[in-house]
A = this chain, B = another copy of it.
Amino acid sequence: MIPRYSRPEMVAIWSPETKFRIWFEIEAHACDALAEIGVIPKAAARTIWEKGGPATFDIERIDEIERETKHDVIAFLTHLAEIVGPDARFVHQGMTSSDVLDTCFNIQLVRAADLLLSDMDALLAAIRRRAFEHKDTICIGRSHGIHAEPVTFGLKMAEAYAEFDRCRKRLEAAREEIATCAISGAVGTFANIDPRVEEHVARALGLAVEPVSTQVIPRDRHAMFFATLGVVASSIERLAVEIRHLQRTEVLEAEEYFSKGQKGSSAMPHKRNPVLTENLTGLARMVRAYALPAMENVALWHERDISHSSVERMIGPDATVTLDFALARLTGVVDKLVVYPERMLANMNRLGGLVHSQRILLALTQAGVSREDAYRLVQRNAMKVWESYQLSGASEVDFLEELLADKDVRAALSEEEIRSRFDLGYHTRQVDTIFRRVFGEA
């Protein structure tokens, strides 16, 4: 997490202020429950809210105490006692530090997930808009980087929409994974604290109760959370790579928006580089990488060790802040992407109609030619076009004319039958079907 790739709302979730505020709320809600079941005086619980609620926690003071005690929760509680007064001795009764730390971490992750979900909604909206805008914008489909058959730019967007819609569902599941609360004491047995306290705090904070904790909330939950972020990042990379390809000089079917004052290069003023999507490619690598230490964190020793903590102090903010930034950046890129439909057509047509070879192959087969023979007939005409294209980048041989002049082809198909296979509309007949599947409308 570095300022360059951070947005303030997500950064705020990970600030010390937010953390100590959450700690306070966990403790204060726990006091309410402890008072309710008669463990501590009700007046004490009230005092804690009254004094701690409006207080601003002094982070430097807490750090100072921690430097001495080398224990962050004790440092906070000591500072809280300075604010609350004698009633502070009722705080944290029967609890262990991890009850506070783990529940707080989960709350931060839940808030991060909520932000990511709303990022995702904005991204989905942008993709959807561009999808419908370009539903019928023909461009060549490419497999292996090689021209295949026509698609539309809207279909590319539809695929991205369906993919990020899956990512949204995965994020929801990931959010549910870590939306739990544990207030179960030193080794999770509730020996010193009534399970009703946990139930109350969970309810008050919108979390589920952790069915069985062992001082800590089990880290398979967090592994699943961060692994999910890694998958989302990989989908970001996919769309980023698509745009980078489309912006290549030789392709140039779309471009990232290029603002007036922006300079692409200190030396080559004509260059407009897809730096945002290249940047997203790199950010995706980072978010993906964080999944691994999260998985290694699962195998804690016995009831817990603290090896996960340093990892989480880093990847908690790093993964969520980076992914938040990446989703927002991608949304901007999609939203303002400059699309060049004429160039899409021009690129396709440079291959002299080879794009229709599959239809001719089928037509031949359906006309009774064996698969092997049809393949050879198509191939021998196609190769002429291709070889011309290879040299110049724009074929001077026309596939249609070649076919019409090929006696063996004509023995199977009439001119009319051949010409009809060169209709682009043929390829887009099912776009509406696909759109209905993806968007529920076309």
Contact = CB atoms under 8 A, between A and B. Distances in A.
A396 interface: no
A29 B288 CA distance: 39
Given A143-B303, A144-B274, A273-B143, A393 B350 contact: yes
A292 B285 contact: yes
Contacts of A296: 234, 285, 288, 296
A313 interface: yes
Contacts of A392: 342-343, 346
Interface in A396-442: 426-431, 433-434, 437-438
Contact count band on A: 35 or more
A351 B148 contact: no
A303 B265 CA distance: 15
Interface stretch (A17-25, A49-57, A121-129, A379-387): A379-387
Contacts of A361: 267-269
A47 interface: no
Contacts of A223: 230-231, 234
A347 interface: yes
A88 B365 CA distance: 11
A299 B238 contact: yes
Contacts of A60: none
Contact of A245 (B70, B150, B230, B302): B302
Contact of A242 (B158, B302, B391, B431): B302
26 contacts: A69-B262, A71-B264, A92-B266, A141-B189, A142-B248, A143-B186, A143-B265, A143-B303, A145-B302, A149-B187, A149-B268, A155-B188, A163-B220, A189-B428, A211-B434, A220-B231, A223-B231, A223-B234, A224-B228, A230-B291, A233-B295, A237-B298, A242-B301, A244-B305, A250-B350, A285-B292
